[in-house]
């Protein structure tokens, strides 16, 4: 732990304690390769910092945390349900339902990518 502090690498818990503004400053100073920081939310910045440290070899890949409680097969099943809802909404010209279904698909695919990245 002392060795990591000397290198300037913070644990995930320490990063979560920082405000979004402090995380943006940290990204600008230490990780200029991370682009789009101004439009990211706090959790996205934390993930970007950790993945950049993994890419640079400063942090082992096992430091990534997989989302709890959902496996890839469960996520795929939920995506299939959303796709059915999307098709039904499109056929019925229910554009509000269509938007919700597409957002659900997008959210679940993002979770699935994070799950695969962490494992």
User: Does residue 27 sit in the same domain as residue 48?
Assistant: yes
> Is the confidence at residue 4, as pLDDT, over 60?
no
User: Does residue 58 sit in the same domain as residue 79?
Assistant: no
- Domain final residue pick, 41, 63, 85: 63
DSSP string, 52-98: HHHHHTSS-GGGS-PPTT--HHHHHHHHHHHHHHHHHHHHTT-HHHH
pLDDT, one tens digit per residue, over 68-97 is: 556 778 889 999 999 999 999 999 999 999
- Give the global pTM: 0.48
- Structural domains in the chain (count): 2
Domain extent at residue 17 = 2-63
User: Does residue 55 sit in the same domain as residue 38?
Assistant: yes
- Residue 48, H or E segment: helix 42-56
User: Does residue 81 sit in the same domain as residue 56?
Assistant: no
Question: Who's near 114: CB < 8 A, 6+ residues apart?
Answer: 47, 66, 67
pLDDT given at position 107 = 92
pLDDT given at position 113 = 86
User: Does residue 7 sit in the same domain as residue 58?
Assistant: yes
């Amino acid at each position: 732990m002392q060795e990591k502090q000397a290198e300037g690498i913070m644990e995930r818990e320490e990063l979560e304690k920082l405000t979004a503004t402090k995380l943006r400053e940290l990204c600008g100073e230490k990780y200029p390769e991370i682009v789009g920081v101004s439009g990211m939310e706090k959790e996205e910045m934390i993930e970007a910092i950790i993945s950049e440290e993994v890419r640079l070899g400063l942090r082992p890949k096992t430091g990534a945390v997989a989302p709890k409680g959902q496996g890839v097969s469960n996520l795929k099943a939920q995506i299939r349900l959303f796709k059915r809802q999307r098709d039904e909404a499109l056929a019925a010209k229910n554009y509000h339902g269509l938007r919700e279904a597409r957002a659900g698909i997008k959210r679940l695919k993002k979770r699935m990518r994070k799950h695969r990245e962490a494992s």
